[in-house]
Amino acid sequence: MIRKMSARTCGKMAANAGPRLTRRTLLTGAAATAAAALPAPAVLAQTAGGGARRNISSFRVNDWRDHFDSLKNGVILADTNSRMLQFWSEDETVYRIYPTSVPLTDQLTRRGYTRVIRKVVGPSWRPTAAMKKRNPEWPDYVPPGPDNPLGTHALYLSWQYYRIHGTNDTRKIGRRSSNGCIGLFNEQIAELFALARVGTQVKLI
């Protein structure tokens, strides 16, 4: 079930919150606090009975049990509507939440179950034929480095051409800006890269 706070309630919380939180600091700060202080299922306004509700920034926080049968190999849940990614480790001792970029259009968005099949530090990039048709000015190949659209790390999925990767253009995070992949800040994909393994379950919703 999704619950929304009233404007009055949010106003009271904001008045007592101290320094103003940005979208990025809210997510990253909450993730760090969650990992250190709370059991994973209780993090970020999850209800005791499971399900999902929205926090004060309207991010939809999900319970892994609503999407996966088990945490075997760890699980990644990428929400293309809320533009956020959640990770749970197999033993449920590690929980992370990250803001993401998402595909530009629904036509470019694939949803459903997949898995991590390969992990690459310093990925190279080649646009697909469909990408070149839409953007003929793009190069045929970009080597690893600061100009690479995959950033510093990439998790290759069992769906061909689909990745969870970093970005060297931080303006893309929190926006519809990709050609199908899920993008994270470089420092956050580096953390997720270390936590995930080949075989980690993935679902895009």
Domain ranges of the chain: 7-204
Annotated active-site residue in 10, 67, 153, 181 = 181
Interacting residues of 48 by C-beta distance below 8 A, sequence separation 6+: 42
Question: What's residue 78's pLDDT?
Answer: 94
Question: What's residue 59's pLDDT?
Answer: 66
Note the pLDDT tens digit of each residue in 142-170.
Answer: 999 998 999 999 999 999 889 999 998 88
Rounded Cα distance, 133 and 139, in Å: 12
Q: Average pLDDT in the 108-135 region?
A: 91
Question: What's residue 155's pLDDT?
Answer: 97
Question: What's residue 156's pLDDT?
Answer: 96
Rounded Cα distance, 129 and 70, in Å: 37
Cβ count within 10 A of residue 195: 15
What superfamily in CATH does domain 7-204 come from?
A: L,D-transpeptidase catalytic domain-like (2.40.440.10)
Question: What's residue 58's pLDDT?
Answer: 55
Taking 60 as the threshold, does the pLDDT of residue 17 lie above it?
no
Rounded Cα distance, 35 and 26, in Å: 14
Does the active-site annotation cover 181? yes
Question: What's residue 169's pLDDT?
Answer: 85
Question: What's residue 60's pLDDT?
Answer: 74
Note the pLDDT tens digit of each residue in 77-119.
Answer: 999 888 999 999 999 999 999 999 988 788 778 899 999 999 9
pTM of the model: 0.69
Which position has the token pair 């800040």?
A: 185
Range with the largest mean pLDDT of 34-48, 120-134, 166-180: 120-134
Taking 70 as the threshold, does the pLDDT of residue 41 lie above it?
no
Q: Report residue 177's pLDDT band, with 50, 70 and 90 as the boundaries.
A: confident
Alpha helices in 46-162 (DSSP H): 129-134
Does the active-site annotation cover 10? no
What percent of the chain has pLDDT above 70? 71
What percent of the chain has pLDDT above 90? 49
Question: What's residue 87's pLDDT?
Answer: 98
Question: What's residue 110's pLDDT?
Answer: 84
